[in-house]
Amino acid sequence: MADNARAKRLADLIREVVAQKLQRGIKDPRLGSHVTITDTRVTGDLREATVFYTVYGDDEERAAAAAGLQSAKGVLRSAVGAAAGVKFTPSLTFVADALPDTAKTIEDLLDKARAKDAQVREVSAGATFAGDADPYRKPEDDEPADDPDADDPDADAADGHTAHGDGTGGDAAK
């Protein structure tokens, strides 16, 4: 089994050779300048390579490019074998890269989020707080209100209740 550095170097070489061959060496009109090689991955045993590509165009052009790559697979593999100089030339598998579609989906979601944010800003433009502007308690809020009996400990005694300090309020002793 080969090391990862060797597989990475071979993958980079395959990407360059396939891109150059597509640009200059293959005369298939389906593989015009709108095919881009985005990434290449090689298995650890250096026997199989996956080549990721994108196609600038609509679904019909993507299907035509896929058929063109499939038909040019042998020529491309021969070019890779000549450039790589390895004992076994890896077999090539072409896979349409999903990155552009994923990027478009993310952009659409971000546009929706921006529209929702603008809508929320619009609705909240003239809004006020539901309660006070400052919802936090302050030390002056903890002081008792204007209760005349709050500071007078004898006020309970005037009502006929005595405070015993045992939490019963004096009524339990009667």
Is the model's pLDDT at 116 over the cut of 50? Answer: yes
Q: How confident is the model at residue 13 (pLDDT cuts 50, 70, 90)?
A: very high
What average pLDDT does this structure show over 31-49?
87
Q: How confident is the model at residue 165 (pLDDT cuts 50, 70, 90)?
A: low
Tell me the pTM: 0.59
- Reported in sequence order, the residue ranges of the chain that DSSP labels E, i.e. its strands, are 35-42, 48-55, 91-96
Helix axis angle for 73-84 and 4-20, nearest 10°, is 130
> Tokens representing 18?
């396939």
Whether residue 93 contacts residue 50, with contact meaning beta carbons closer than 8 Å, is answered with yes
How are the residues of the chain apportioned to helix, strand and coil, as percentages rounded to the nearest 5? 50, 15, 40
How confident is the model at residue 55, as a pLDDT? Answer: 87
Is the model's pLDDT at 174 over the cut of 50? Answer: no
